[in-house]
């Protein structure tokens, strides 16, 4: 897809990977709709790129439907949907006191990360199917954000790795489902990235994660993620793929 002039919605666009993606796509000529539960952050990012913004909780159908209709009426229906909204809450199944961890510790992260991604993709795909096809019948492209924790989740990441595993495993399913409409679906599975989500990690944890990263020995940068998003959008033959983006990091059990 030639992305210049296309409409792109980015969930979680107020910070980190989503913010970098929103700015990168805007610099490449897209009209960008920034969605975030932190409306002020979404507005700030949108203002720097002359984009639109909407405050929304991706785990709520009503809130996300309202955000889509606000963005669509201001910049049009999306050809590109990048789902970055997410949280990294961790919890073990059983507490140190041998009690079962409250269920909502797991359901909340799955609702935001996995159901939130399905929520954005169902609304984006419905709009994309109404768009005129481009070269080779392409109507749109959607990118989910999984994690390497989808494949080697660490101790305490049950809810998080389940949510990211869900994003990884639904990618091919959706690519199959939407192929007849010319809509591609892919996911990126990042390793350790330099964003506000990881800035609070204690130094020993950060050092251990960096030392498990094969090469280069550092955190990934948000701009590098955004670059990959642009490449996926532009490269028609990338479809149904979950792309590890991790400097060959393989997470240890803890
Ligand atoms: N940073 C990493 O190392 C890393 C690694 C693998 C995967 N990821 C994934 O990348 C995505 C982006 O993470 P990040 O590092 O940029 O984190 P971040 O905390 O900087 O950004 C996440 C954004 O999502 C928003 N958000 C949270 N809950 C939301 C909700 N219910 N509705 C709408 N917006 C919501 C937050 O307000 C925030 O702006 C997440 O899905 C995360 O799980 C991050």
Q: What does the pLDDT read at residue 5?
A: 98
Q: What does the pLDDT read at residue 235?
A: 98
Q: What does the pLDDT read at residue 41?
A: 98
Q: What does the pLDDT read at residue 160?
A: 98
Q: What does the pLDDT read at residue 31?
A: 98
- Tell which atom from ligand 1 comes closest to the C-alpha of 19: 16
Our mutation pick for probing the ligand 1 site, out of 20, 34, 85, 120, counting the most ligand atoms within 8 A of Cβ, is: 85
160 is catalytic: yes
Instruction: Check if the beta carbon of residue 56 is closer than 8 Å to that of residue 32.
Output: no
Q: What does the pLDDT read at residue 157?
A: 97
Distance CA(183)–CA(170), nearest Å, equals 14
Distance CA(228)–CA(213), nearest Å, equals 19
Instruction: Check if the beta carbon of residue 219 is closer than 8 Å to that of residue 203.
Output: no
Domain 7-245 has CATH 3.40.50.720: yes
Residues of the chain with pLDDT under 50: none
Taking CA atoms, 154 is separated from 36, 91, 114, 160, 254, in Å, by 27, 11, 18, 10, 5
Strands 242-245, 80-83: pairing is unpaired
Digit-coded pLDDT (tens) for 92-104: 999 999 999 999 9
């Amino acid at each position: 897809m030639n992305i210049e002039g296309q409409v792109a919605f980015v969930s979680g666009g107020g910070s980190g990977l989503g913010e970098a993606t929103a700015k990168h796509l805007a610099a490449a000529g897209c009209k960008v709709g920034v969605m975030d539960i932190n409306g002020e952050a979404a507005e700030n990012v949108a203002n720097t790129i002359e984009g639109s913004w909407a405050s929304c909780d991706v785990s709520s159908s009503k809130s996300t439907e309202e955000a889509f209709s606000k963005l669509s009426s201001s910049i049009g229906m999306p050809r590109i949907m990048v789902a970055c909204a997410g949280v990294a809450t961790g919890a073990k199944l059983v507490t140190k006191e041998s009690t079962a961890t409250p269920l909502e510790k797991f359901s909340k992260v799955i609702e935001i990360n996995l159901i939130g991604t399905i929520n954005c993709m169902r609304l984006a795909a419905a709009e994309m199917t109404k768009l005129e096809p481009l070269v080779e019948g392409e109507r749109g492209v959607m990118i989910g954000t999984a994690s390497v924790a989808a494949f080697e989740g660490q101790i305490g990441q049950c809810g998080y790795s389940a949510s990211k595993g869900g994003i990884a495993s639904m990618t091919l399913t959706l690519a199959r489902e939407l192929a007849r409409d010319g809509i591609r679906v892919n996911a990126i599975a990042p390793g350790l990235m330099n964003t506000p989500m990881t800035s609070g990690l204690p130094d020993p944890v950060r050092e251990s994660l960096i030392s498990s990263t094969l090469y280069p020995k550092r955190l990934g940068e948000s701009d590098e993620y955004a670059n990959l998003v642009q490449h996926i959008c532009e490269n028609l033959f990338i479809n149904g793929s979950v792309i590890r983006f991790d400097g060959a990091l393989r997470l240890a059990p803890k």
